[in-house]
Structure 1
Amino acid sequence: MSAILFNVTTAALLVLMFKAGMLLVDGEPIRRRPFPWAAAALTAVAVAAVLLQVTWPGAMDALDSDPRRSGWWRVVTSVFMQNGGILGGAWNILTLAAIAALAQWFWRWPLMLALFAAGVLLPQHIDALFGETARSTDPRNFAGSSGATYFLAATLAAGVLLTSSATKDRLLAASVPAAGLAMWLAQDNGHGLVACYGFVLGLAVLATTRRLTADPGPGDG
């Protein structure tokens, strides 16, 4: 029962963040938007990694982020390994594709890729900062793209909070870190915690980009 509740709350958090992303692209049909090639590239890498797992039995041992094994590359390659079975892997890849596309349309592709990279690298640095050896802030369990996807998705909720004037939209956005923190405290669910990280970074990035675009450059004043 606890496993079912864990999965339900984890999926519900992603639905909240997906709704936030849809709010950001509302007003223009998705079919009219430019093809999100960077999101497609990320998805293609994830699919290729699954095919590698199918064809190479040693892929997980070579590419996961098990701290008992050495290899500087593991923190990156482990994101594209999937260890949730067929359904879990399919869910991770589909949600990565959807969230990355929404993020590319809002943030543009360079920032989308940078924020995805932050979602890959930030959890391990927080672990090191607090002396965590159990990787409790990393929901990947040594493999899987869900942590980086949730981090990226939370930046979309941050975008809604700072760009929308509708109270209901802002409440939806604010519910993301609140729900994430509750999941972390109640379930030790790392997806909730990385969503909080992504939300905070999204606020900081959007505030910074707004400041940079608002400030007049030399000779513009």
Structure 2
Amino acid sequence: MKETENYHFNGNLREKGNNGLETEIRTTGDCDKLLDELELKEERLNDQKAELYILRQKLYDEAPDGDLRCEVVEQKDENIPDWYYSDLAQYDFYLVKGENKKLILSLEAYILEDTKSIESRIEQLNCSYEYKDFTPEEKKVLISAFYKTHELVIKKKAAFDKLRQDVHNQTQEEGNNQIALKDFKMNPDVKEIVNAGYKALAKKYHPDISSDYGQRMQEINEAKDLLDKLLN
């Protein structure tokens, strides 16, 4: 018969031989005993969490209403730049009294974009059982925050769409310029045309006959140098 292995447990099962671990496990009964202990700890933890939820609600309810406001927090990856817009960006709406606050709901950007969706949320705020305990002042600041965030999301989306369109147009323009330059360089007569045009302009704006002290001729020479570099 194979000899029973001894295992140790400290949150993870580990093979025999690890030192410094708290509990030795030899049978399934040992596992059941530990599971019972963990379930008991979990129950106590859940009871503590429930007490804290109740206490948090009590602290908020007892706080003075003079500083009542709604804070909206956009949840996003810190690596994503502020100008980037995503339909799935999440906005958390908090009711705040002084230093006490509670999360009311979270809405994605695609919901906040749509006026009908905003009106639907406001209807829920006024009518549903979930929101029946809200005071008129709380409803007022929440509705105001909904509309303000709606306008903010619309402006952010419009700015992002414009930026994306500008980048697209610039990329397309640069591509068209590259095609035009390629066609320009492939024309066998282009160098002769450039040289002929240069001679005609040089004759017209030569410093000896021009009253601008050679300024126009300098511009012509710079343009000729640029064209020569493009054609080589």
The structure with more strand, counted as a fraction of residues: 2
User: When the two structures are superposed, what TM-score results if normalisation uses the length of structure 1?
Assistant: 0.29
